[in-house]
Amino acid sequence: MATGTFFGLKQFASSRRRSETFMAWIFSAPAIVLLIVFLLVPFLMAFGLSFTDQRLIPNPNLPTQIVYLRNFVRMLEDEAFLRGLLNNFYFTIVVVPLQTALALLLAILVNQKVKGMNLFRTIYFSPVVTTMVVVSIIWTFLYNPGEGLINEFVQTISFGLLGPYHWLQNTKLVFPAIMLLSIWQGVGFQMVIYLAGLQEIPDPLYEAADMDGANKLQQFFYVTLPQLRNTTIFVVLATTILAFKLFTQVEVMTRGGPQNASMTTIVHVVHQGWGQLKVGYASAISIVFFLIVLGVSLLQRYFLREERAVE
């Protein structure tokens, strides 16, 4: 009797697991289909087209031919592509640490239990929910050399000794100007992530540090920062991936100019694929971009695995 009950329970548990697995696949199916249709299939198509001279508008007199690695070799001689890739790394090296540090500072400020603090949280986060196209257009007016508010501010604080500057027309100023815009627009997102991390730090840790005589600065370095390690890893690597995808503000404000000074990889892909109709070459650039993002993602997994191992 007991043996029959045991096997009956075992069959019931097995049936339940199969039912849960089936339901999991049912609920996952829409997401899987979307990933296959809009991610996997386009990537496989881009991989195949990267070895051809395919054009966006086929020409019966110029049939598509396989060019093997010619597109990839061409990238090494493409000044716009190399400048765009260099700008991506330049943007990442400058923006990621600045935006991360500023986000942490803002998160600490808005984490204070002060009346009306929710208003400041909303103000700092509002640029994130504003469409980047709208933000870019507004900042284009702010950077206007004649009547732009930024030039007026610079001239006012310098008593007319500095400015006006042609921010978006100067090859040395255009990319720093885009960096400033990007930091202002995106810092609210990282701030919210840091704010969530700060609120998860147990109060007894600060109380123990205070009893040991640690001041606020020491508590920040020995309590806050170590407790935000995982949060910082996520913020830095997520921001890095977004930095490599820099496109909208550049396309709206400068289209990569002047003289490719603000060119980025994705902008160059769009210009080659849609502007020059060179789908094959644009696909090759996209494959290289994918490998860069994949490398950053693997780096993220490595750091997270190391953190789990420490814990």
pLDDT tens figures, 204-224 = 888 888 888 888 888 888 888
Give the chain's mean pLDDT.
86
Tell me, what's the pLDDT at 3? Answer: 56
With a pLDDT cut of 90, the percent of the chain lying above it is 37
Least confidently predicted of 48-57, 90-99, 260-269: 48-57
CA distances, 60 to each of 57, 63, 64, 274 (Å): 10, 6, 9, 19
CATH number for the segment(s) 79-310: 1.10.3720.10
User: What is this structure's pTM?
Assistant: 0.83
**Residue 205 near residue 227 (C-beta atoms within 8 A):** yes
Q: Is residue 66 classed as helix, strand or coil in its secondary structure?
A: strand
Question: Averaging pLDDT over each range in 21-25, 193-197, 231-235, which range is the top one?
Answer: 193-197
Least confidently predicted of 9-13, 50-54, 128-132: 9-13
Tell me, what's the pLDDT at 56? Answer: 83
Residues in the chain: 311
**Residue 84 near residue 270 (C-beta atoms within 8 A):** no
User: With b meaning 16 or more CB within 10 Å and e meaning fewer, what string describes 133-162?
Assistant: eebbeebbebbbeeebebbeebeeeeeeee
Is residue 146 pLDDT above 80, yes or no? no
**Residue 74 near residue 281 (C-beta atoms within 8 A):** yes
What would the mean pLDDT of 143-164 be, rounded to a whole number?
85
Residue 20 binned pLDDT confidence (cut-offs 50, 70, 90): confident
CA R_g for the chain: 26
Could you report the per-residue pLDDT of 64-108, keeping only the tens digit for each?
888 888 999 999 888 999 999 999 989 989 999 999 999 999 999
What would the mean pLDDT of 163-179 be, rounded to a whole number?
91
Report how far apart the first and last C-alpha atoms of the chain are (Å, whole number). 47
Is residue 6 pLDDT above 70, yes or no? no
**Residue 84 near residue 265 (C-beta atoms within 8 A):** yes
What would the mean pLDDT of 261-267 be, rounded to a whole number?
92
CA distances, 2 to each of 7, 8, 202, 231 (Å): 9, 10, 49, 52
